[in-house]
Amino acid sequence: MISGRYRALAVASCIVMLLVLLAGALVTNTESGRGCGDDWPLCNGKFVPAYTVESLIEYSHRAISGLAGILTLAAFLYSLIYKRYKEQLVYASSALALTVVQALMGAAAVLWPQSPAVMAIHFGISLLAFASTLLLVVWLRRFGRGEVRKANTPVPKRFYGLLLFTAIYSYIVVYLGAYIRHTDSSGGCIGWPLCNGQVVPDLEGATLAVFIHRVAAAILFFIILYVFVTIRRSGAGGEPLRVSSAWALTLVAAQVLSGAWLTLTLTNENMFIFTSLLHNLIIAGLFTMLLDMVIRSRSLSEGR
């Protein structure tokens, strides 16, 4: 049996980790990363810093990250003590380890300013940490409904390879988007779907980075569309994978549309912050969905 207290702890850690992910994006979009100066864990030499918008945003991000660390540690200890299935320990330990790495990278960014390429990795680590907490919540829900040990249609090994490739490729697309944010290159392409009024713009500077991200995102959409059609036609994995592939296709379409909306709000600072957070929220759900499909397809792969 999985206690209700453990389920509540897992849900709480997932919600707080999502807030960490969004708060980190807010820090980047509002350029509040130096809101606490070069101090860590203090903020401008104080435990409770003087009020400025930048210091409030940065310090709130630190506080939420600290709470996430406490909750993921509690979930890990609970999983370790009351371990019944390896899945719950894998997800809980991954969430804790990634949260620690994320915190250390955040501290390093304050004490020793990092390059945009490294800061983009910071977002990627946050995304993996959130995905680990959400996967734990999803597993607990399936366990409670008796779906964990329920037999499903076997999945050919090639499907597992296809889904693994899709998840890895989606992570690369996410990294490109994070790199654009940290280099303040969002304005490289004005307009959508054309870039600066051209199908293929002058490929240099910020325009090159944004155009590559757009092309990579379009390719991801067609890869997930192919995954959806292939799973529907073959019946591999049964109903669970069919439903998951439909959700993945819906989310990637929403991601493309939110990217278009993001571009159209570049000149409206307040709206741009909202659309950017929405963009991050959707990609967090999509990436986790793809990871879940990889895990489920692996467990159902023929010949294992």
Active site (annotated) includes residue 58? yes
86-111 helix and 4-29 helix, angle to the nearest 10 degrees: 30
User: What's the pLDDT score for residue 150?
Assistant: 56
pTM of full prediction above 0.75: yes
Q: Would you call 20 exposed, middle or buried from its count of C-beta atoms within 10 A (0-12, 13-18, 19+)?
A: buried
- Tell me the three-class secondary structure of 144-191, residue by residue: HCCCCCCCCCCECHHHHHHHHHHHHHHHHHHHHHHHHHHCCCHHHCCC
**Cα–Cα distance, 74 to 51 (Å, whole number):** 32
Report which DSSP code applies to 48.
S
User: What's the pLDDT score for residue 303?
Assistant: 44
Q: Would you call 83 exposed, middle or buried from its count of C-beta atoms within 10 A (0-12, 13-18, 19+)?
A: exposed
User: What's the pLDDT score for residue 50?
Assistant: 63
Q: Mean pLDDT per 10-residue run, the chain (304 residues)? A: 84 95 86 72 69 80 91 92 82 94 83 78 93 94 70 74 95 94 88 91 91 96 96 81 93 95 89 92 96 86 51
User: What's the pLDDT score for residue 1?
Assistant: 60
Six token digits for residue 112: 């020793």
Residues for the chain: how many in total? Answer: 304
**Cα–Cα distance, 81 to 283 (Å, whole number):** 33
- Among residues 31, 58, 239, 269, the one annotated as catalytic is 58
